[in-house]
Amino acid sequence: MNGSRREFLTATGTVLLGGLAGCTGAPTSGQTGGTTAQSPDGATTDAGGGGSGNGGETGDLSSLELRYETLASGFTSPVDVAIPDAFDGTRRFVVDQPGLLWLHDDAGLQSEPYLDITDRVVDLAGYDERGFLGLAFHPNFADNGRLFLRYSAPRRGGTPSNYSHTFVLSELTVDPEATTISADSERTLLEIPQPQANHNAGALAFGPDGYLYVAVGDGGAGNDEGRGHVDDWYSAVSGGNGQDVTQNLLGSILRIDVDTDGGVSGDDDKPYGIPEDNPLVGRDGFDEQYAWGLRNPWRLSFDGEDFYVADVGQGMWEEVNLVENGGNYGWNVREGAHCFRAGDCPTETPDGDPLIDPVLEYPHSGSGPSGIAVIGGYVYRGEEIPALSGVYVFADWRSGGRLFAARPQESRPWDIVEIPITDRDGGGENVLAFGRDPAGELYVCTNDSTRASRTTGTLNRLRVA
């Protein structure tokens, strides 16, 4: 572990997205921020609680009703919101899928983008799962000005001509105090050839260990097979990037050290380091991979050491996983905790590694919670909604204005409660992403359209109704 790391560790299927292509004008501000500077407790998830009701005491979620406080509107497809510890969390950065990053602070939304990378992102039209998809600020951003971008670029060298695009993970170093920045300092860290246009994942997050975690989809199309999908050990489905760890990085969570370079040994040509305890170091497979068996991991978050990753299902089940080092989450042998395209299927690999069941799952139809594309969220650690304390809050893309919540429990899957939004204050019904500020309060990005010409996207803060 290098010195800079010690410094900041002692100091933090048709799936998704609302379609996209250029913004028609700047988003506008609603009510301003004003979050209190205060750190969440950082504890692992809490299964305790008692009491009831609308934010009164921790406990019963069945009678809880929430509302949106819309902070800003006019985005096309706000697919991420990052709220760094720097500046006490009073700056909120909204990723708009066509390639714009907007800054919202206590004065409102800036009239000009904080960053514009539309010239580096593939052109989007109508419904599209590509674009500017993720953002993470270095834990020591206030001092080093480093931030990390994840976007879909036109095919670059090394990407076959019949592939859709190139996955790009890059780094900028900027003035931390600036209110607008350029991409002139961009340094590409990783490129991955993407065979299809869908299943691009895109979330980035720094873990409590100081390493950067990167979500990578399975390469797209259906069933994890077809162009760009390799053979794996499971013969019931003729393909499987999710189960492969030797031929590409698709269908996995990566973990890299952005404070060093040179791979594991320090003498490779990689522009990042590899943590020595990554599970495939010294084994067959890519050193970057931390976990695999994923289809389209749409949004991830940490709560202390607990690592939540939502994975969008294909046609039957949506799931959320508690991810661990070396974990295999089953795709495309299993969808959720169920066999995929087979009446019977294994629960472990030929090497004896288990296919780990999700902690949360729900079907695409039924009388209880249901939907078509899970949107990963956060564990609530704020003070304004006590009933949610220690509860994981998430949604489905087409939830119709509902949010979902689950209190951690011993057995899997955990029980899911639907929480109605009684007042959307201009916020849309399609949930795209969540954010959490340093005080533990939650934010929701929404829109009402999958068309590129619409600007119905909003940034909202959750409040008690």
Model pLDDT for residues 188-243, shown as the tens digit of each residue: 999 999 999 999 999 999 999 999 999 999 999 999 999 999 999 999 998 899 99
Residue 89 has pLDDT above 70, yes or no: yes
Question: Residue 75: which CATH number?
Answer: 2.120.10.30
Return the minimum-mean-pLDDT range out of 48-52, 156-160, 248-252: 48-52
Q: Are strands 165-173 and 187-194 parallel, antiparallel or unpaired?
A: antiparallel
Residue 39 has pLDDT above 60, yes or no: no
pLDDT of residue 25: 52
Taking residues 268-285, report their average pLDDT. Answer: 96
- For residues 1 and 431, the answer to whether their CB atoms sit within 8 Å is no
Mean residue pLDDT of the chain comes to 88
Paired tokens of 33: 């921020």
pLDDT of residue 375: 97
pLDDT of residue 34: 36
pLDDT of residue 451: 58
Paired tokens of 348: 């472990």
Q: Look up the domain containing 86 and give its range.
A: 3-464
> How far apart (Å, rounded) are the C-alpha atoms in residues 147 and 8?
15
Cα 13 → chain centroid: 16
What total of structural domains would you count in the chain? 1
If pLDDT is split at 50, 70 and 90, which confidence band does 393 have?
very high
Residue 22 has pLDDT above 90, yes or no: no
Residue with tokens 């497979």: 285
Residue with tokens 């949610």: 388
Q: In Å, how far are 41, 87, 118, 173, 381 from 439, measured between CA atoms? A: 9, 12, 32, 26, 7
- For residues 219 and 241, the answer to whether their CB atoms sit within 8 Å is yes
pLDDT of residue 40: 32
- DSSP letter string over 404-448? EEE---SSSSPP-EEE-EEE-TT--SEEEEEEE-TTS-EEEEEES
Cβ contacts of 234 within 8 Å, gap of 6 or more: 240, 243, 332, 333, 345, 346
Cβ contacts of 58 within 8 Å, gap of 6 or more: 48, 49, 50, 51, 386, 387, 389, 390
Taking residues 398-427, report their average pLDDT. Answer: 90
pLDDT of residue 452: 52
Helix (H, G, I), strand (E, B) or coil at 89: helix
Using H for helix, E for strand and C for coil, what is the string for 31-88? CCCCCCCCCCCCCCCCCCCCCCCCCCCCCCCCCCCEEEEEEEEEECCEEEEECCCHHH
Q: What are 292-349's pLDDT values in tens digits?
A: 999 999 999 999 999 999 999 999 999 999 999 999 999 999 999 999 999 999 999 9
Taking residues 83-99, report their average pLDDT. Answer: 95
Residue 269 has pLDDT above 90, yes or no: yes
Candidates 246, 252, 357; CA nearest to 300 is: 252
If pLDDT is split at 50, 70 and 90, which confidence band does 57 have?
very low
In the chain, the largest separation of any two C-alpha atoms, in whole Å, equals 59
